[in-house]
Amino acid sequence: MSMYKLNLKGREFDIREDYTIEEWMDLQKWDANIEANWPRLLSSAVGMTIEEAKEIPMETMQVAIGLLMVTLSPDHVALKDSIDDYGLIDFNAITFGQWVDLEVLLSRDPRKTLDKMIAVLYGAKETKHWQLRDAWPALQKYLVFRKTVYTNYKALFEIDDIDTSTVKELKDQSHAWYDMIMVLADEKFLNISDAVDRPMVEAFNFIAWKKDQMIKQEQLIQKQKQQSRR
């Protein structure tokens, strides 16, 4: 499906209106913000050789890349409540396990994990063959929801600006989230399954309460130490 075509020496190349999630991830290898990548990106996107892409005049190249970027970030399309009979999860009822899975995948770069993120969002097993424009709005909705969650629990996560920060800027978020899971599981391995199935809001409220209790206990210990020195 294509509304636009690129003509080069008598040959026509479609500038497509959609790609599969797998194709999208493959195209992310070439950063469109770097002009030197444009021939490789366009070559992969429309099926021409790199040599042919390098022959395209700059003005034409700029238009082609602009159209391609709109296709690869389809923010204008409507949200789908279901794809291939898989329903979008209810964010108000998201479990702690689903939240952790999404956060870990997000921290590992959506350009490499988008298919797995969409699989979590729709409760599906395999999504690489899905059309990007069908699944993209669900990711955008999750990112808005995610920002709201971090804003509501900024004291728990110690984040001042969710747009520029990650959870304490941790290098391996999977370990950080595992620590939280163990708090919910009372540090018992056999309780992990039940812990990750708890509602996310319930889990965060409990962890916030535990953190508050630890702070109060530490303050009490420090107060007792000061009193003992007198």
- Rounded distance between C-alpha atoms, residue 37 and residue 43, angstroms: 10
- Rounded distance between C-alpha atoms, residue 111 and residue 200, angstroms: 25
Residue 12, φ and ψ in degrees, nearest 5: -110, 135
Residue type, 203: A
For residue 131, give the DSSP letter.
B
Structure tokens at 60: 């034409």
| Each residue's pLDDT tens digit, 127-164 | 999 999 999 999 999 999 999 998 888 888 776 666 65
- Rounded distance between C-alpha atoms, residue 190 and residue 205, angstroms: 22
Mean pLDDT of 12-39: 94
Confidence at residue 28, expressed as pLDDT on a 0 to 100 scale: 95
Q: For residues 144 and 137, is the Cβ–Cβ distance under 8 A? A: no
Confidence at residue 191, expressed as pLDDT on a 0 to 100 scale: 83
pLDDT at 1 over 60: no
Confidence at residue 156, expressed as pLDDT on a 0 to 100 scale: 81
